[in-house]
Amino acid sequence: MKKTIIACAVQQPCNRGRDTNLAYSISQIEAAAQQNADLVVLPELHLDHYFCQSEDTACFDLAQPVPGPTCEVLAKVAAANNVVIVSTIFERRAAGLYHNTAVVFDKDGSIAGTFRKMHIPDDPGFYEKFYFTPGDLGFRPVETSIGKLGVLICWDQWYPEAARLMALAGAEVLIYPTAIGWDPSDAADEQQRQRDAWVTVQRGHAVANGLPLISCNRIGFEAAPDQAQGIQFWGNSFIAGPQGEILASADDKQDLLLFAELDLRRSEDVRRIWPFLRDRRIEAYQDLLRRYID
């Protein structure tokens, strides 16, 4: 199994309609493959505009089965370009039952595995609980030809428990497809704090687990259906090493391919000098299963 891989995060806008969005994602995957990428990560729900800004039952028509039409297309792209692809799809599991689902395609075009988003937000402009049922596949990495991928989705990226469980299950890299942005009415200093917190918490997951990490966000302004402010997606995709070091990063406007070479063997060396897994006091952590300690 190859232990040094070239990872690519596709930072792209997703506000141009499904056909255009998908065609653009495919063109970026092909461009990444031409630059020897082994792994290509796409932003969260890259097929469509961020429909969760409002609660609209008509948006359920955007969902599709997994496997389904988009899976068939991306499977062919993965095989034709000899790359592993991480995509997220609005999954229709059954009538009235929908998930936000990451699908991992291996280099031969097979579906290596899936992950259903576990933590579902419900905030102004992010009404995801209306659309998505919390995942029920647990925190299990997806085994591929290039290694075990710990794929989590957006809101999952704030929870240290999620990253830890992926690490404990053998993940060799943490991957976060994302759709996160600013309320344009927020002051510039508040926007800075939010973005810095987002980067910091994920770098912390890399450090605490001794794993490289890929965070792939969308860019661009997307108006809300009611013509309210909308969301300015802040980009800032980045790839970090197992000590949280930034290997590659983007700004809040760049439409680009972000590359980094990841030596998955380096986690072994890092964990030898920072043996967090060895020194965990698992016998004292029972209260983590409680909602709150009164």
Q: Where are the domains of the chain?
A: 10-289
Residue 1: per-residue pLDDT: 54
pLDDT in tens, the chain (294 residues): 559 999 999 999 999 999 999 999 999 999 999 999 999 999 999 999 999 999 999 999 999 999 999 999 999 999 999 999 999 999 999 999 999 999 999 999 999 999 999 999 999 899 999 999 999 999 999 999 999 999 999 999 999 999 999 999 999 999 999 999 999 889 999 999 999 999 999 999 999 999 999 999 999 999 988 766 899 999 999 999 999 999 999 999 999 999 999 999 999 999 999 999 999 999 999 999 999 999
Residue 229: per-residue pLDDT: 83
Q: Can the peptide bond before residue 67 be classed as cis, meaning omega within 30 degrees of 0?
A: yes
Residue 228: per-residue pLDDT: 65
Distance CA 215, CA 240 (A): 9
Active site residues: 44, 117, 154
Residue 292: per-residue pLDDT: 96
pTM of the model as a whole: 0.96
Q: For residue 214, which of 180, 177, 245, 181 has the smallest C-alpha distance? A: 177
Q: Contact at 8 Å (CB) between 12 and 24?
A: yes
Residue 2: per-residue pLDDT: 59
Residue 234: per-residue pLDDT: 97
Quick one: 10-289 is in which CATH superfamily? Answer: Carbon-nitrogen hydrolase (3.60.110.10)
